[in-house]
Chains A and B, each alone.
Chain A
Amino acid sequence: MKSRSPRRTCGVTLGAVTALLALSACGGSSDSKSSSGSTPSTTTSESTSSTAAAGGSGSKLIVIITPSPDNVFFKAEQVAAAAEAKKLGYSTLVLSHDDDPTKQSQEVDTAISRKAAAIVLDNAGADSSVTAVQKAKTAGIPSFLIDREINKTGVAVSQIVSNNYQGATLGGQEFAKLMKNSGQYAELLGKQTDNNASIRSKGYHSVLDQYSGLKMVAQQSANWDQTEALNKTQTILQAHPNIKGIIAGNDTMALGVYAALKAAKKTNVIVTGFDGSPDVVSSILKGGIKADVLQPASQIAQMAVDQADKYIKTKSTGSPEKQSVDCVLVTPANAAKVKSFAVLP
């Protein structure tokens, strides 16, 4: 009990920690997903481009804040925004708020204390993010919002979002077509505090509710989560074994749904998603998930950085605050042309 010296104990513990780190880190950056490979950590990766940045006085730092890059969608945003910023001669600080408004607020504080030139933000909630954006504005830092809007205008310089409602109607139309306008279906909703969850659901229903033959027998939130979508789908299938289709509010949930269907040997059930993530696109190509709505995430992130650059230089973006970019439907016909959240011509 008291035989070992504390020094030796520290050694043992440290050794074990080191071994674990090694196992966890090895091979981490060499798989296809890591884009640049220069910085192993995504949550706080910072990279400074050459000092020969575009001229002018003041800060050359753009802070990019998004939800967790666990979801490839946000990862694509980070990568596209950082690449565009670097191209324009800025250094970048990439942070993740994990959908936690408190953490987001602290990260905005970081941006303020680092005297950032601009913030590109995919926010943590339409209402709970207003204060954070206002705080940045008061400190003289312009914010450029992407992907999600906030419930107030005049605080951010730009709010560029994909047209979720338009996208959801596209998804709803394709789902109805695949269902041949009749039969039982279930819907998996996203996190119910996220505006996009309800906008997409409304978009889906604006189409689906017009068909009297289509009957929604279950509607559950799976909080954008893959495992939760899997478990809830399995249970829904128990309650409603004759289900013909499941429409999911995003792609991680669609993948969870499909895993459940595969386990239940019911892959003939129609699944559609929303986002345009590579995993779902490859599933479409294999005949698994049937259709997907692609949000131009990379394009939106680039637009935000371009407008930030213009605003820093001229104090105007030349565009209205609220801008929306249309979504694109992905089906087996065009899935082969999809690359990192964009449909190539």
Chain B
Amino acid sequence: MSVTTDKSVAQPAAPAEKTPKWSSRVLLLLLKGRTLIVLVLLVIVFRAITANYLSQSNLILMTKHVSINAILAIGVTFVILTGGIDLSVGSIAGLAGMISGGLLYSGLHIFGVTIFFSAAVVILIGIAVGAGVGAINGLLITRLGVAPFIATLGMLYVARGLADLRSNGGTFPDLSGTAARGNTGFGIIGVNSWLGVPVAVWLMIVVALVAAVTTTRTPFGRRVYALGGNERAAILSGIRATRIKISVYVISGACAALAGLLLTSELGAAYPDTATTFELNAIAAAVLGGTSLFGGRGTILGTILGAFVIGFLSDGLVLVGVSSFWQLVVKGCVIVFAVVMEQAQQRVQARVAAR
């Protein structure tokens, strides 16, 4: 249980607590662990309604559905930790899917010849495209001084438009590739399993571990928190803000591209509307997990738990057969409730510390 909201950097050791009232401490513990508690409650409630909810196959399936949003949300968490926001991740996912899909389906037409790349190369190109779009976001924000909200909002439209342009609005229907072209195997990341667990889930685990280590154990991670905690202080203490900021948008873009490739691979088809509005799910997961939109506070583990709450909730509602209208209402309420709880935690924390 470490959904702690560590302001790890530049925070002097907390003033020695003079044995605060135990009830406050229990309350604080509950609030800190709220995402996990909500998740456990969800599981208990849905298990009571449908027997299938906790079956092994359904747990694997729900985790697979979660993995897409979790990977998007991990990237977005880096950005939010610096005090920024990335609205373009859904569109980047769609663009990466379309570019990879196009390369698999119709190849790259250049100088009158058509080149087909192997599936692995196509995946790398897709991720590179995402990272590249992220880099443009970062440059716009740092070098040209565009506010993150506006820069990435613009990119939301641009990337979606480019995805449409790639196929003239159409769908690339079959991405299985042919042996003759040497480009089979794109389905592996989205469809296949390893040791009974989908490859997408393994990828989520790897991305989460790397991200968690990066944020908590590396100088880069500390600088990300420092920048979000107090940008001016961070810059004055010698942190190169521009470089860190561009890096987080590159990370976010690359994560988005990976998610887009997973979606495309699973579907076996690429269409330009892929992952529309997914950026909101990703931001919601980060916020649910305790990431502060003002920056400097939040953890990767919290974000993952947030993604699990959203995913397990929406799949559970479908499983039970709730209408899609109510699904939206419930999801919205849970997100707002999470932020209310975060504010409550801040207050209790302050009270405990003040004692």
Contact = CB atoms under 8 A, between A and B. Distances in A.
- Residue among A96, A220, A235, A256 with max Cβ neighbours from chain B (10 Å): A235
Given A30-B109, A70-B170, A232-B318, A13 B140 contact: yes
A231 B274 CA distance: 13
A262 interface: yes
Interface string A211-229: 0000000111101011100
A32 to B, nearest CB: 8
Contact count band on A: 35 or more
A70 B271 contact: yes
B271 A263 contact: no
A4 B168 contact: no
A139 to B, nearest CB: 29
A216 to B, nearest CB: 11
B165 A24 contact: yes
A1 B244 CA distance: 11
B221 to A, nearest CB: 20
Contacts of A262: 191, 268
Instruction: Specify the main secondary structure of chain A where it touches its partner.
Output: helix
Given A238-B52, A238-B58, A28 B143 contact: no
A255 B65 CA distance: 18
Contact of B191 (A226, A236, A263): A263
B266 A33 contact: no
Contacts, number: 157
B272 A70 contact: yes
Contacts of B144: 6, 9-10, 13
A75 B235 CA distance: 52
A224 to B, nearest CB: 10
B143 A23 contact: no
B171 A235 contact: no
Contacts of A263: 191, 266
A230 B266 contact: yes
B235 A1 contact: yes
Interface string A194-217: 000000000000000000000000
A70 B169 contact: yes
A279 B167 contact: no
A18 to B, nearest CB: 11
Contacts of A344: none
Nearest to B51: A239
Given A33-B168, A34-B168, A19 B132 contact: yes
A336 interface: no
A25 B109 CA distance: 10
B162 A20 contact: yes
A181 interface: no
B292 to A, nearest CB: 25
B240 A1 contact: yes
Contact count band on B: 35 or more
Interface in B78-108: 95, 98-99, 102, 105-108
A235 B318 contact: yes
A249 to B, nearest CB: 13
B166 A24 contact: yes
A259 B166 contact: no
B19 interface: no
A181 B269 CA distance: 32
B164 A70 contact: yes
Nearest to B315: A235
B226 interface: no
Contact of B170 (A25, A33, A221): A33
Interface string B131-173: 0110110011001100000000000000000111111111111
Interface in B36-62: 50, 52, 55, 57-58, 61-62
A314 interface: no
Given A24-B162, A70-B271, A40 B168 contact: yes
A221 B324 contact: yes
Contact of B267 (A10, A40, A235, A259): A259
B143 A9 contact: yes
A53 interface: no
Nearest to A21: B162
B140 to A, nearest CB: 6
A190 B298 CA distance: 38
Contacts of A20: 129, 132-133, 136, 162
A12 B139 contact: yes
A42 B165 CA distance: 8
A90 to B, nearest CB: 22
B310 interface: no
B166 A25 contact: yes
A96 B241 CA distance: 42
Given A68-B273, A231-B65, A238 B171 contact: no
Interface string A298-327: 000000000000000000000000000000
A234 B162 contact: no
A27 B318 contact: no
26 contacts: A1-B235, A4-B143, A12-B139, A13-B144, A16-B132, A19-B132, A20-B132, A24-B163, A24-B166, A25-B166, A29-B168, A31-B102, A33-B168, A70-B169, A96-B169, A221-B324, A235-B318, A236-B319, A238-B58, A238-B319, A239-B50, A239-B52, A239-B319, A252-B271, A262-B191, A278-B173
Interface of B: 50, 52, 55, 57-58, 61-62, 65, 95, 98-99, 102, 105-110, 114, 129, 132-133, 135-136, 139-140, 143-144, 162-173, 191, 235, 240-242, 263, 266-269, 271-275, 315, 318-321, 323-325
Given A24-B163, A43-B169, A234-B61, 12 more contacts: A1-B242, A9-B139, A12-B139, A12-B143, A19-B132, A31-B170, A31-B172, A68-B169, A70-B272, A227-B274, A252-B271, A255-B269
Interface of A: 1, 4, 6, 9-10, 12-13, 16-17, 19-21, 23-31, 33-34, 40-43, 68-70, 72, 75, 96, 192, 218-221, 223, 225-227, 230-232, 234-236, 238-239, 252, 255-256, 259, 262-263, 278-279, 282
